[in-house]
Amino acid sequence: MTAVTLPVALPRTSRWPWFGAFAFLFLITSQALAIITSPADRDMGDLQKIMYVHVPSAWITMLSFFVVLVFSVRYLWQRRENDDLLAASAAGVGATFNGLTLVLGMLWGRPTWGVWWTWDARLTSTLVLFLIFVGYLSLRAFIDEPVRRAQWSAAVGILGAINVPIVYLSVRWWRTLHQVQSSPSTVDPLYVLFLRANAFAFLFVMIYFIRQRYEAARIERDAELAAQAVALGGR
């Protein structure tokens, strides 16, 4: 029996272990200081403090899908596999933050609006965005051929990202229970500092998660190539 030399890839060790530790430490510190030091809201009381998770999560959801859009377009233009892997990594992270945004919105909406869910324009468009990218990830799971998987994923990623500005502008385009977009000029100065700090904390966590998922995707790709080499060598 002929021996087959396999192109086995050793697991890649993250080059950013310090960045991950920094990101989570920054997140924990920002959340703790925001919750402990910010005063209770006049109308919502301490319930308002869910803002420090819900709002940054929503921002990062949209930013993640912008990353999907950029790397999907780059893949269709240059046909580089790494662009496809980066888009898929960002989609997985974005879908996670999207789901977190929906859950936190429901937890905030129940005591504020009196219902867990309403077919409000902002909530509905956010749910549609979540379903699109769950479909994106499901599509990748069911297509084995790498080139076809990357092409179809890029098309879905681009179409899905088009929904992001709809989510953002929905509170202005339609009558809605959800408040319009806030800005530092419309938020009490007591809350602005830690809202910004937590936005950066979520950004750092997003970057770290995308990096980790990208490394895992490259290892999976190398494993697929090794399996193909075994199949070809065994003939």
Instruction: Tell me the C-alpha distance between 210 and 59, whole Å.
Output: 16
Grade residue 64 by pLDDT with cuts at 50, 70 and 90.
Answer: very high
- Expressed in angstroms, the distance from the first to the final Cα of the chain is 11
**What residues does each domain of the chain span?**
18-35+45-233
Prediction pTM value: 0.84
- Asked if the model's pLDDT at residue 32 lies above 50, the reply is yes
- Range 56-79 burial, b when 16+ CB lie within 10 A, else e: bbbbbbbbbbebbbbbbbbbbeee
Instruction: For residue 148, report the phi and psi dihedrals to the nearest 5 degrees.
Output: -65, -40
Q: Which of 34-38, 47-51, 175-179 is the least confident region?
A: 175-179
Helices 81-113, 189-233: crossing angle, 10 deg rounding: 140
pLDDT of residue 111: 86
Looking at 62-71, 93-102, 141-150, which range is the least confident one? 141-150
